[in-house]
Structure 1
Amino acid sequence: MQLIPKSRNAMKLWSIRLAIASAALGAVEAILPVWQGMVPEGVFASIASATAVAAAVARVIKQEGLS
């Protein structure tokens, strides 16, 4: 397995940042029963889904300054 060229710049890509944020929100959703009653039901799932969609969109948008 080989890394893509310039893989050191991966953290500068919004698609990577948003994918990490989506994964973190999914993890928070797993421990949501601890916060039951403090956070409305479905909030973390909605935010995680929206972040995942944003990551997919960001994947196809040209990002300047990464050449």
Structure 2
Amino acid sequence: MKLIPEAKRAGKLWSVRLAAIAAGLAAAEASLPLWEGMIPDGAFATLSSLVGIAAAVARVIRQEGFA
């Protein structure tokens, strides 16, 4: 597999940042029994979905410094 030349700067892309946040929220769903009563049902799933959609939108927006 060959990476694109800009791969070293991928961490600065909002789409990559938002995808990482969505993955973190999805992983946090596994710890839901620890949050029972404090976090409403479906909160992590809703937030993960919203951030995932934002990542997809950010992927098609041109970002400064990237062609």
Question: Is TM more than 0.5 here?
Answer: yes
Distance apart, 1:10 and its partner CA? 0.2
CA distance in 1, matches of 2:29, 2:4: 32
Distance apart, 1:66 and its partner CA? 3.3
CA distance in 1, matches of 2:3, 2:65: 20
* Runs of 4 or more above 2 Å deviation: none
Which has a greater percent of helix? 2
Q: Count matched residues.
A: 67
TM-score, normalised on structure 2?
0.93
CA distance in 1, matches of 2:65, 2:2: 24
Aligned position for 1:21: 21
TM-score, normalised on structure 1?
0.93
Aligned position for 1:43: 43
